[in-house]
Amino acid sequence: MVRWWDKNFERRLEVGLINSFAIPRINEPVRFSVNFKDPLPHQNSLRLVDDSGSCLMYQLVNQKKNGQHLVATDVIFITSAMKNKKKYYLYYSSADRGEENYTGIRKLNPKLKDGIVRLDTGKYVIELCKGTARGSSSDKWGIRYFEEKHEGRNLIRNCANAIGGVYGPFFTAENGWINPPTHTMLEWEIVTEGPICHCYHTFTKVPNGLDENLNGKSIRTWWTFYFLSDRFDRRYVIDDYETIIDGRPIRNKMTVGDELECGPDNLIFSAFKSYGQTKYRKEDPYLGVMLSHTQRVIDDPKHKANSRIKEILGKYGTDVSKWSWDASWRLFCPLERVFEPKELKLLIEEIKKDMKKAIGPGSGHNIVYSTKDFVNVPEVEGGVIFALDANKTVEYSPITGYSFVKYVDNVVQRFEIAQKNSNGWVNWGTNGENEYPELLSGSTISSAYGKYEVWENEADKMETPIGVSIRKLETIEGA
């Protein structure tokens, strides 16, 4: 005889959780799928309980229905599984038992003019923005407000940068530095909103640049946030393409940039590490090449009458060493209309030659370093390294004790990691030197921000979620 928690339900499924790493899981999302047989459960009849009979908050996603009855559904809930195995039960019946109303993730009013949604997940306050397409870093789409609630500060000062923008393959010399997060606005749709999980699908069409192989391409992203969880996920898809970047063939790879900024001498992170062993190259000659060409162009007497250059000089001055990075690349972007197309292509060809030379044989740039310790990135010339062949990484602050842990479900051959004291700019980018993209289209990036005693445990948990086994269907006697 089956011992029932509530005989008003006709059936129950045993849901077994398997924590294969035996690492404590705190507020971790779990998702499983169920297909039902006749009699089908009413959509309002499901109840999820633990082995003591206590009801748990849950959310149904991807429901397939026959009227008000469920044929199939995904169930999402949050667990804190401390042991290797744990049991839950999903009760249901054909009768309507009334819709459950849970208080979980809260939607707040967006504070930014281009805000898509502002969420209080219980762990974070996050505002996802659609961008303004006006060209500056404060106009980017992506997450422009990110606060861990216990810490209580936005990691992006004045919301003037963004987490999660897609740059390559468009933001390259070959394409004329078309910058999707600043040159486009997102369209968006709700995938699901509930107490446990909010997911949004965003998409944008990228303006055509100089590379015809990249014309008419679109970027799609799925952003997923969970109640109380340290974890949030992003999945990126770009339209198929093949082209040449930095002299190398490339197909269906992209650059995603997570950019934080808190002002001069106010770094959020000052150390970086890959899982196990960190292999990396030091410095980024790319910026120096760009600045030297920028200075040469604005000093050239034949450009003195160029009205757009005058406008840029009026804003940034004549000392390019004090310019922001945005000012330099914009000078050579066709959308900015500083030069006629023919002249622009000639200028870019000269830049490309020097970029390639700066990292080529004999440059000294190709030395690979290796360490099992943290790399103090701000101490490297220029505050930039290129981490090699990794998919689990951490950015860390020994001052605050906070870490940003990230797991990518495909190995990334090169990351650009910037931690610059001069402007407090921090970047985790999936690109190599000369803006060569390295993230495979279709990849998912999972992230967690907080204070972690063992950051590798957080990466392992994201790589290997809790396993779910639907063990058996039990039926009440006579049902």
Decide if 76 is inside a domain.
yes
Angle of helix 285-299 versus helix 341-359 axis, rounded to 10: 140
Decide if 384 is inside a domain.
no
Q: Are 181 and 142 in contact (CB under 8 A)?
A: yes
Domain span including residue 304: 286-345
Decide if 130 is inside a domain.
no
pTM assigned to the model: 0.95
Decide if 137 is inside a domain.
no
Residue 35: which pLDDT band, with cuts at 50, 70 and 90? very high
pLDDT of 1 reads 36
Angstrom CA distances, 204 to 141, 187, 219, stand at 10, 6, 5
Q: Are 462 and 231 in contact (CB under 8 A)?
A: yes
- Separation of alpha carbons 200 and 197, rounded Å: 10
If you average pLDDT over residues 194-202, what whole number do you get?
98
Residue 2 has pLDDT above 70, yes or no: no
| Phi, psi values for residue 247, rounded to 5° | 80, 5
Angstrom CA distances, 307 to 301, 312, 320, 341, stand at 13, 9, 18, 16
Residue 258 has pLDDT above 50, yes or no: yes
pLDDT of 372 reads 97
Decide if 27 is inside a domain.
yes
Q: Give which of 339, 332, 387 is closest to 354, Cα–Cα.
A: 332
Residue 466: which pLDDT band, with cuts at 50, 70 and 90? very high
SS3 31: strand
pLDDT of 85 reads 84
Residue 38 has pLDDT above 50, yes or no: yes
Residue 414 has pLDDT above 90, yes or no: yes
Q: Tell me: the pLDDT tens digits for 90-145?
A: 999 999 998 888 999 999 999 999 999 999 999 999 999 999 999 888 899 999 99
Decide if 319 is inside a domain.
yes
Residue 169: which pLDDT band, with cuts at 50, 70 and 90? very high
Give the CATH number for residue 73. 2.60.40.2210
Residue 471 has pLDDT above 50, yes or no: yes
In the chain, pLDDT over 90 holds for what percent of residues? Answer: 78
If you average pLDDT over residues 178-186, what whole number do you get?
97
| Phi, psi values for residue 234, rounded to 5° | -140, 130
Number of C-alpha atoms within 13 angstroms, CB side, residue 214? 31
- Tally Cβ neighbours within 10 Å of residue 6: 14
Q: Tell me: the pLDDT tens digits for 436-460?
A: 999 999 999 999 999 999 999 999 9
* Chain-centre distance for alpha carbon 194: 21
Q: What sign for the dihedral angle of Cα 405, 406, 412, 417?
A: negative
Decide if 333 is inside a domain.
yes
pLDDT of 364 reads 83
How many distinct structural domains can be found in the chain?
2
Decide if 457 is inside a domain.
no
Q: Give which of 373, 122, 409, 124 is closest to 272, Cα–Cα.
A: 373
Q: For the chain, first and last CA: distance in Å?
A: 13
Q: What angle do CA 239, 242, 243 make, to 5 degrees?
A: 125
275 burial class (0-12, 13-18, 19+ CB within 10 angstroms)? middle
Region of 391 (left: φ > 0; alpha: ψ -120 to 50; beta: rest) is alpha
Q: Which of 195-199, 265-269, 393-397, 429-433 has the lowest mean pLDDT?
A: 265-269
Q: Tell me: the pLDDT tens digits for 44-98?
A: 999 999 988 889 999 999 999 999 999 999 999 999 977 778 899 999 999 999 8
